[in-house]
Amino acid sequence: MRVATNTVDNNIISQIEQLTTQQAQLQNEVSTGLRISAPADDPTAFGRVMVDNSESRANSQYSSNASSALATSQATYSALQQVKAVSDRATQIGTLGTGTLGASAMSAYGSEVDQLIEQAVQLGSSQLNNSYLFSGTAVTTPPYNVARNAQGQVTSVSYAGNNAQASIPISGTSNIAPGADSSTNQGLTSFINNLVALRDALNSGDTAAVGTAQSGLLTTENTIINSISEQGAVQMRIQVSQDQQTSLSQTLGQLVSNETSTDLPTTVAKLTQAQNAYQAAVQSAASIMQKTILTYLPVQ
């Protein structure tokens, strides 16, 4: 049987080309450590990797959201803790003011409460990243309008924020509101006005008015305590979510690695086999192509 010379040559060339391509792919796997770098390498696995990478990006965004929410909650918690300290001192003074203090002592306590008022106003205007913590979602608006007398003393405050509360997604199925709610923001307004009432009652020596202001302070203190507790619960929930996000990130990373990483010892062995086969093919080609067509003619 005769075999056309060009058919033999074409088969040899095709085999060499296939071995060249195989070597290049295996060499790339060895150098990069990846068995998949393009969809054509393994379409099915590449599809799974795309899904895992998409979920990983979403998880990273939720993780970033959780970090932002935690920072907001922690800043709010810290400010409220300091407001609670102001409230503690104010109620102590209120208790003393309902007793048998002289006029000079009442006036001295009135001056101290005046400083507590300024501290409370400052805490109520706390910011994080240039956003007011107690303005609802109106984060660029100072939360309180402060009225002062000719001596510069605070005479009243009114709330200037809104009653909305920002909600932040921390997973595909869960949102969280890390900031102060409207009852807290309005409670701080009442708290500062009760401080003003206490100061004025102390300065005037009116023990009955001191008692009324003291009662108001105890009511607003409960609001502050409740908000502090709520922020503690919010932080715990965020931290649980962050733990889940970290675990999911590790799982997705491992899944992608399992799909894309090459088995280096096996790949090196395959590369060696491909190189040997290539050398053998080249040597065979050199030997065969040196012969003429007469080599394939039958002997007469």
Specify the range with the lowest mean pLDDT, choosing from 23-27, 135-139, 206-210: 23-27
Confidence tier at 1 by pLDDT (50, 70, 90) = very low
Residues whose CB is less than 8 angstroms from the CB of residue 186 and which lie 6 or more positions away in sequence, other chains included: 159
Q: Which domains does the chain have, with CATH numbers?
A: 57-241 (1.20.1330.10)
What is the rounded CA–CA span in Å between residue 216 and residue 198?
Answer: 9
pLDDT at position 148, please? 96
What is the rounded CA–CA span in Å between residue 177 and residue 161?
Answer: 17
Specify the range with the lowest mean pLDDT, choosing from 39-48, 93-102, 199-208: 39-48
Contact 208, 237 (CB under 8 A): no
> 206-230: string of b/e by CB count within 10 Å (b at 16+)?
ebebbbbbbebbeebbebbeebbeb
What is the rounded CA–CA span in Å between residue 154 and residue 197?
Answer: 11
When comparing pLDDT for 284 and 259, which is higher? 259
Does the pLDDT value for residue 83 go beyond 70?
A: yes
pLDDT at position 254, please? 84
When comparing pLDDT for 79 and 8, which is higher? 79
Does the pLDDT value for residue 131 go beyond 80?
A: yes
Confidence tier at 202 by pLDDT (50, 70, 90) = very high
Handedness of CA 183, 186, 190, 191 (dihedral sign): positive
When comparing pLDDT for 255 and 211, which is higher? 211
- Burial environment of residue 277 by CB neighbours within 10 A (0 to 12, 13 to 18, 19 or more): middle
- Burial environment of residue 154 by CB neighbours within 10 A (0 to 12, 13 to 18, 19 or more): buried
Does the pLDDT value for residue 24 go beyond 80?
A: no
Distance of CA 163 to the CA centre of its chain: 25
What is the rounded CA–CA span in Å between residue 236 and residue 93?
Answer: 35
Summary mean pLDDT of the chain: 84
When comparing pLDDT for 83 and 269, which is higher? 83
Confidence tier at 65 by pLDDT (50, 70, 90) = very high
Does the pLDDT value for residue 215 go beyond 80?
A: yes
Distances in Å between the alpha carbon of 215 and those of 122, 187, 206, 219?
23, 14, 15, 6
What is the rounded CA–CA span in Å between residue 298 and residue 8?
Answer: 17
When comparing pLDDT for 182 and 51, which is higher? 182
Q: What are the φ and ψ backbone dihedral angles of 68, each rounded to 5 degrees? A: -65, -45
pLDDT at position 53, please? 83
Tokens of 1: 């049987």
Specify the range with the lowest mean pLDDT, choosing from 52-61, 109-118, 261-270: 261-270
Handedness of CA 26, 27, 33, 38 (dihedral sign): negative
Tokens of 109: 């306590």
Provide the 10 A C-beta neighbour count for residue 272.
Answer: 11
Does the pLDDT value for residue 47 go beyond 60?
A: yes
pLDDT, mean of residues 178-193: 95
Does the pLDDT value for residue 120 go beyond 60?
A: yes
Confidence tier at 272 by pLDDT (50, 70, 90) = low
Residues whose CB is less than 8 angstroms from the CB of residue 144 and which lie 6 or more positions away in sequence, other chains included: 121, 124, 125, 157, 158, 159, 160, 188, 189, 192
Tens-place pLDDT, residues 158-173: 999 999 999 999 998 8
Does the pLDDT value for residue 152 go beyond 70?
A: yes
Q: What angle do CA 146, 192, 133 make, to 5 degrees?
A: 75
Does the pLDDT value for residue 26 go beyond 50?
A: yes
pLDDT, mean of residues 65-71: 95
Tokens of 174: 């869960």
